[in-house]
Amino acid sequence: MSRVFNFAAGPAMMPEEALERAAAEMLSYKGTGMSVMEMSHRSSAYQEIFDRTVRLLRELMGIPDEYEVLLLQGGATGQFAAVPMNLLKTGADYVDSGNFAHGAFVEAQKYGNARVIASSREESYARVPDVDAGAIDPDADYVYITTNNTIYGTRFTRLPDCGKVPLVADMSSNILSEPYDVRDFGVIFAGAQKNIGPAGLTVVVVRKDLLGHARPDTPKIFDWAKQAQAGSMLNTPATYAIYMAGLCLEWLKKEGGVRVICMRNQVKAKLLYDFLDESRLFRGTAARESRSLMNVTFRTPSPETDAAFVKFAAAQGLVNLKGHRLVGGMRASIYNAMPVEGVTRLVEAMKQFEAEGIAR
C-alpha cells in the first residue's frame, strides 16, 4: 500500500527521508553490526548519536550556551509536574488557554501556590486569552503558557510581557515550526511526537541559572539539575527515539531550517483557512486572531456530516482527520513533515465533498 497523508495530531507523520534512512540502518548502524535499538547508551557509537541530536537542536533553535538541553522521558505531561518541582517556591502564574494548559495548572496546584491570570476556558478555548502585563505578579517564580493548543487549533501570536519573571512554555505542538528567540524564555519543553520525531522523547531547554532549585522531595528523574549533571542519562534514555529525532532534525536542516519551514507552514495553513473562510459547508472553529499554523480545527453543521467526510477523505488517502474526543468536529494537523501537496489534496477533497453534497 502506498503511503497516506497522515493528519494525526501525534504521533504524527515524519519525513520519509528520515524513515528510509532508519530502515537502511536498522540491522547495522554505520558498520557496527547492530541496530541502534540494541546499542548500549554508554557506548561511544551511541554517545555520538546523542551529541549530534543535541547539536542539531541547538543549531536549529538558536539555543545559547547559557541554556541546558535535556533529552528526557515522561512526555510533556511529566513536565507538568517537573516545572513546579524545579521552580515553584512562592507562586506561579498560569495562562489557561486549552486542555493541556489547564492540566498543567491543576498539576502545579499540588506543589504550591499557582493561580490563573488569564483564561478562555468559558469560551471553550476558541481563542488564546489576552494577558495583561499588570496581572503578572512581578515576584512570581514563573509565568506558564502553552504556545500552541493542539485540541482547539489556537496559538499565541504574541508572547506575554513577563518583565523579569521567567517564561515557561510548553511547545509540544509547534516547536521548530516557527522562529522563537530562546532568550525570551526561562524554560521550553516539548514532547517529540509532533515536530521532532517519534513518541517517547521529551526535550527540555532550561536556562542554567534556573537549575539547582528543585524541591527536596523531587524524584531525581524529574530534577533538571541532576539530569544535566548526568548528561540526561540518570537512567537509560529513549535511545531509538533520540536517534530518530536526530534524523528528522537533519532533514529539517537540509530543508533550510526553521525560518524556511515556517514559510512553508504559512502557505499550508493559508490554503486551508482560505477555503474554510469561503466554504458553504465547512467552517473553522478557532478565532481568527488565534489560529494555529499546526492544527486546523473545523466542522460541518452536524456530527453525522463530519463523520461522513472523515470516511470520504480516508478513502482518498487522507487519514486521521477526526477531531479530539473532547470537542468533536475535525482537525487537520499539518506539522513540518506534512507536504504542501497533502494540504492541497485535502482542500480538493473538501471541495468535492461540498459540491456533491450541495448537488444532492
Burial 91-114 (b: 16+ CB within 10 A, else e): ebbbbbbbbbbbbbbebbeebbeb
Cis upstream peptide for 11 (omega within 30°):
yes
Which amino acid belongs to residue 19?
Answer: L
Residues with Cβ within 8 Å of 265's Cβ and at least 6 positions away in sequence, in order, are: 177, 178, 293, 294, 334, 336
How far is the C-alpha of 190 from the C-alpha of 196, rounded, in Å?
9
Neighbouring C-beta atoms of residue 135, cutoff 10 Å: 15
Q: Taking the mean position of all CA atoms in its chain, how far away is CA 27?
A: 30
**DSSP H helix total and E strand total for the chain:** 9, 14
pLDDT at 359: 44
pLDDT, tens digit only, all 360 positions of the chain = 689 999 999 999 999 999 999 999 999 999 999 999 999 999 999 999 999 999 999 999 999 999 999 999 999 999 999 999 999 999 999 999 999 999 999 999 999 999 999 999 999 999 999 999 999 999 999 999 999 999 999 999 999 999 999 999 999 999 999 999 999 999 999 999 999 999 999 999 999 999 999 999 999 999 999 999 999 999 999 999 999 999 999 999 999 999 999 999 999 999 999 999 999 999 999 999 999 999 999 999 999 999 999 999 999 999 999 999 999 999 999 999 999 999 999 999 999 999 987 544
Q: CA 9, CA 173: separation in Å to the nearest integer?
A: 8
The single residue listed with the C-alpha cell 502553552 is 146
Q: What is the pLDDT of residue 357?
A: 78
The rounded distance, in Å, linking the Cα atoms of 172 and 148 is: 8
Q: What is the model's pLDDT at position 356? A: 87
Residue 141 corresponds to which amino acid?
D
